[in-house]
Every structure is written in structure tokens, then in C-alpha cells.
Amino acid sequence: MDIDLIKSCEAKAKEWLTSPVYDEQTKAEVKALLEAEDKTALVDAFYQSLEFGTGGLRGIMGAGTNRMNRYIVGAATQGFANYINKAFAGKKDIAVVVGHDCRNHGREFAETVANIFSANGIKVYLFESLRPTPEISFAIRQLKAQAGVNVTASHNPKEYNGYKAYWEDGAQVLAPHDTGIIDEVNKVKIEEVKFQGNPDLIQIIGGEMDWDYLQAVKEAMVDQEVINRQKDLNIVYTPLHGTGRVIIPEALRSWGFQNIHVVPEQMVIDGNFPTVVSPNPENSEAMTLGMKLGTKLNADLVIASDPDADRLAIVCRNPKGEWEILNGNQTAMMFAWYIIANKKKLGQLKGNEFLVKTIVTTEIIKKIADKNGVELMDCYTGFKWIAALIRENEGVKKYIGGGEESFGFLPFDKVRDKDSPASICLICEIAAWAKDNGKTLYDLLMDIYLEYGFTLNHTINVVRPGKTGADEIKQMMVDFRGAKAPKTLAGSKVICTKDYQALTATDDKGNVTKLDMPAKSNVLQWFTESGIKISVRPSGTEPKIKFYIEAPAEMQCPKCYTSATAEAMAQVEAIKKDLGI
């Protein structure tokens, strides 16, 4: 390890020991890092400052400049408060909404955030206890607040916490506010943080907002009659120890579902997530207890939300009666198909509707939209980009749904982030519709593949923690843009390369066209002759680089699903070799 880097980190750590700002517990933790023979943990804690990015903060909890703790949260909030006061200078009664999820230190961080905003003359609506991320977004709009913060690390492992920053439209911040906030945060010295709050400016909120939010969620419903006929749909739900535990069963009941069961072990609020390896519904392991209860109760489907209840996961039965976990692309396809097909059937489409998907999400959604004459818009990964398209088209076009492959969907526009309560209610309506037609969700999925063509979507996460990992990920992107740019993938010729950093699309003859996107992004895409699509994107919140692979295969009948999957997986394995991952 670099000696100069170790010395630099030791110097930063010693500043924490001598500063009067930091409490004794924090200093004891820093001292232990300094005294440890192995300096890896010290370097990871101090080699950089945890960056306040365009979405806020996310990191491992602990002492240090590169960790989530009261002081890093405090400096971020002071900078955010400074920016808000500048952006709304002259406005009376500037207000923010603050919430948190079930994670360790969540309440402590949320109260720290509330205190600092109030100390800077900003009124704070602080939720009484943990609440879903989409409800925070909803509350910002409902209360006409200027901004908001939710303390959450979403679906990350238990060691993490985070801080999502929202603007007055209820969406995570975009340009120019994102860079403006970052500039203000970077100026803040820890001594300038106003930790001592003003209680007169902090208002606790809870049940009334829950009611308003639940009423709004019902706007995502397409067909009440289907639910009435299938009100006994057998549903098993798990919140994975998180914020959906109360509001999602209530939402389902408000839609008319009467046969709802919960996984008792995972109804316990616990930031250590004791029943799962990781509280990420993208991981099949997280669904084990739900499926076990579903088998016992002969349930029609099993559903989960992640700790902050923005993502959802769905498990349904295949023709053999076995549980089949749907991936985020399959879920988004079903939402898109059902919303369009049944709104059309009920005469709810007026001709100005649009759907949104992210560039890494399955192209089947575009086929569904195109065939039915509904406009589809593509955007970058992250719901702030979907929210931006909703905002840009408000009053002109009608948003009817948007999603991304990472298990997130938003079926109505009163919220401007992923919304699992609304999406879970809607997927149960879809399951009710399928049952009404003698089908399961699995059968519906097969119908969609047969009509629009089969593709397999497979995501590979290459994790590279620490500074060396960050450097390695950076180099991988440089190589893919240069010497290691693929000419063929799984034996199929690359006919188009899209570089969102350069905002260019280059075909196999070298012709270059500009990409019409609102900003640059460190993403590469390759498209091949056979219909393979690959997207490469370093994560903005985690130490990893993601490869999104979409591979087509022949599927002539529902029973061909297994062989089509195997054919596509063979392509995935070939692609991994081609890319060296």
C-alpha cells in the first residue's frame, strides 16, 4: 500500500482526534483505526471524503471522512440548507420533508438532518417514524415543500446507510440544482454545521399523510371490477424488515383485496436484517421465507418490498405449481402490457399517453408500446430521469407508467420516485385479472413472449471495493472505449455502439450520429446483428460496475421457455468471455 496515502489518511484521522467537534465515541473509533497494524480500514475510512453525488450520499456507517456518520450527514445537510436558502431567497416559510427507513442510525441521522435545517431557519416536516421513500416524495408535493431528505441506503447491505436529496417536484435533484448543492456541500467546514436545532420549526407528521398517500395510490388502479371478482386472491407479502410493513397491507386492503398474509419473522423492524443475507429483492435468497409461507398457504403469489419500499419483487407459480421468481424486466413488461391493454379495453386511452423505460431495460417494452400506438420514452438509469420526463410533459401528455430493470416501477404521477406500494397493488390487480381469465402471472408472461418475442435479461455485477477497486473500474471503462471495444459478441457482429459520455452513436461503418439526451453519462452500449444489447455502467452509489445483457432466442410455445432460456444463457456465457468478465 502507498506509504504517502497511509500518511495522508493518518493526518486526516489525527485531525478528528484533536477537533472539539467530534464526540468521544467517534474519537475512540478513529483511534482504533490509527492503532491497527493493518492500515486498510484506516485508508478506506479516510482516503477520500464520502462524495455528495447527484442523488445524495451512500456509504458504510462508521467514523471517517469516507463513512456515513453524524458529521458527514451534518456537513451535507448544512450545504443543502445553504443552497435551499439561496435558491428560494426572499420566499417566506421555506420547508422541507425529512424521513428515514429501518436502518441502524436512521432515526439519529434523520433528527440530525431536521435539527440542522431548522437551525438554518427552514421549517421541517419530520415523519414520526420510518416511512417508504415514495411517501416522502409524495409528502414533498402534498405539503408544497421546497425540498426533502430521506435517510436510507435502499437495498444495500446492512453496513450501509444513505441520504437521498429531493427537490420541490418530489424527485431526486437534477441539473442545475444537483451541481449547485454539491458545490455548497463541498464548501462546508465541520465547524460551520449548525447541529443545534430549533424545535419551533420542526413539525412531526404521520397518520394524516399516510391517509392522503393511500388515497393517491388508488389512482394507479385500472379496473376495480376485476379486483372485486377476485378479492380472495391469496397474497403473501414480506417487507424484509422495512418500511412497507404497515402501509402495503393497508394499501392492498384499500384496493379491495381481503386475503393478505405477511411473513411474521420479516415484519420485525431491524436494520441488521437478520433473516436475509442482503435485503435486496433482486436476490432470490431474500424471497426464501416468503416462498416457504406461500407454499404452506397455497398462495397465488408472493411479493416483497425492499427496506425503503421503493422496489418490489414478485414470485408466481409456473405450470408445475413451483415458485418462479420474476426479474425486474419481466415485471416491467407485465405492467406495460396490462396498463396499455386494459386501459384501451376500458376506453381510458385518449391518445396522448406515454410510458417511460431506462436505456438498460428490456426492448420488449418498446415493442409493446409501438404495436399499441403508445409513445415510449427512453431515459438514463435512475428514477430522477423518469421524473424529469413526467415533469417536462405535465399538462401536455399523460404519464401512465415507467420502470427500470432493477425492480422499480411507478404506475401514477403523484409520486416522483419508484413506488412499491402502488406497484404491488397493481401487480395484484394484474394477478387478479389473470385469474379471472383462467391464467397465472406466469401464463401472462408466456403470452407476452409469444406475441412480442423472447429475450433473456441478465445482469452481472463486478464488485471492486476500496480505492484500488475504484481505479480498476475506471480503467475498465477506458479500455472498453478503446483497445478492448468488442467487434463481435457471442459470434454476432456489433453494428452500433452508443457512448453516452460522448453522446454519440457509431455504426459498424464508422458513421457517427449524436444522441439526444439531457446530459452526459458514463454508459456504453453495444447492439449486434442478432439483436443482442449490452449496456455497461459503473454504479454511482456502490463499488461495482454493471453489465446488462439482453439476448434473444427462439420461443415457439410456452413449453419452449426453458430451451429459449438455455439458448440465451449460452450467449451470455460467450459474451462474458468476449468481455473478460
Judgement on whether residues 8 and 55 belong to the same structural domain of the protein: no
Strand partners of residue 460:
547
Last residue of one domain, picked from the residues 212, 239, 265 = 212
Q: Are strands 408-410 and 398-404 parallel, antiparallel or unpaired?
A: antiparallel
- Sign, CA torsion 350/216/228/252: positive
> What pLDDT score was predicted for residue 468?
81
Residue 175's CB is within 10 A of a number of other CB atoms, namely: 11
Q: How far apart are CA 2 and CA 38, in angstroms?
A: 13
Name the nearest CA neighbour of 536 among 466, 485, 483. Answer: 485
Confirm whether 221 is domain-assigned. Answer: no
3-state secondary structure of 524: strand
Taking the chain (581 residues) in consecutive chunks of 10 residues, what is each chunk's mean pLDDT? 91 95 96 95 93 86 97 97 97 97 98 98 98 98 98 94 96 91 94 98 98 98 98 98 97 98 98 95 93 98 97 95 95 98 95 97 97 97 95 96 95 97 98 97 98 96 84 92 94 97 95 95 96 91 87 96 97 96 91
Joined grid coordinates for residue 190: 465541520
Same domain, yes or no: 290 and 366: yes
- Is 552 part of a structural domain of the chain? yes
> For residues 261 and 249, what is the distance between their CA atoms, to the nearest angstrom?
9
In a domain, 317, yes or no: yes
How is residue 393 written as a grid cell? 410533459
CB 441 within 8 A of CB 334: yes
Q: Do the beta carbons of residue 299 and residue 235 sit within 8 Å?
A: yes
d(Cα 163, Cα 225) in Å, to the nearest integer?
Answer: 40
Q: Is residue 485 part of a domain?
A: yes
Q: How far is residue 12 CA from its own chain's centroid?
A: 33
Do 446 and 459 lie in one domain? The reply is: no
CA distances from 467 to 1, 55, 221, 246 (A): 11, 21, 47, 40
Rounded Cα distance, 466 and 543, in Å: 7
71 and 77 Cβ atoms separated by less than 8 Å: no
If one counts the domains in the chain, the total is 4
Residue 548 lies in a domain: yes
Domain-embedded: residue 241? yes
**218 within some domain:** no
- Residues 82, 167 within the same domain: yes
Q: Which residue type sits at 391?
A: R
Residues 358 and 410 in one domain: yes
How far is residue 531's CA from residue 167's CA, in Å, rounded to a whole number? 39
Q: Does 71 lie in the same domain as 23?
A: no
In DSSP terms, which residues pair with 459 in a beta bridge? 548
pLDDT of residue 469: 84
CATH of the domain at 282: 3.40.120.10
Whether residue 279 is preceded by a cis peptide bond, meaning omega within 30 degrees of 0, is: no
Among 417, 452, 487, where does a domain finish?
452
In the prediction, which pLDDT does 267 show?
98
44 Cα distance to chain centroid? 25
Q: Is residue 219 part of a domain?
A: no
3-state secondary structure of 494: strand
**Cα three-residue angle 220-226-229, rounded to 5 degrees:** 140
253 plus 185 within the same structural domain: no
In whole angstroms, what separates CA 548 from the centre of its chain? 16
The structure's pTM equals 0.94
Catalytic residues: 154
Any idea which residue has 422495512 for its cell? 242
User: Strand ranges (DSSP E) for 465-530?
Assistant: 488-489, 492-499, 504-507, 512-514, 524-528
Same-domain status, 479 and 522: yes
Q: Which three cell numbers stand for residue 234?
A: 391469496
Task: Please choose, from the candidates 353, 359, 315, 314, the residue with its C-alpha nearest in 3D space to the C-alpha of residue 336.
Answer: 353
Distance of CA 222 to the CA centre of its chain: 24
Are 347 and 368 a contacting pair, CB within 8 Å?
A: no
Question: Are 203 and 298 contained in the same domain?
Answer: no
Q: Do 197 and 239 belong to one domain?
A: no
d(CA 173, CA 181): 9
Interior angle at CA 140, CA 139 and CA 143, nearest 5 = 75
DSSP letter assigned to residue 122: -
Mention every residue, 6+ apart, whose C-beta is less than 8 A from residue 468.
none
Residues 114 and 183 in one domain: yes
Torsion angle of C-alpha atoms 188, 190, 192, 193, degrees rounded to 10 = 100
CATH number at residue 505: 3.30.310
Residues in the chain: 581
DSSP per-residue string spanning 15-63: HHHH-SSS-HHHHHHHHHHHH-S--HHHHHHHSSPPP-BTTEEEEEBSS
Q: Are residues 40 and 54 in the same domain?
A: no
- Give the span between the Cα atoms of 438 and 23, in whole angstroms: 63
Q: Give ∠ CA 558-354-521 in degrees, rounded to 5.
A: 90
Burial of 514 (0-12, 13-18, 19+ CB in 10 A): exposed
| Residue 370: its H or E element | helix 364-371
- DSSP reduced 3-state for 552: strand
Expressed in angstroms, the distance from the first to the final Cα of the chain is 26
> Of 430, 452, 474, which residue sits at a domain end?
452
Its domain, for residue 16, covers 1-45
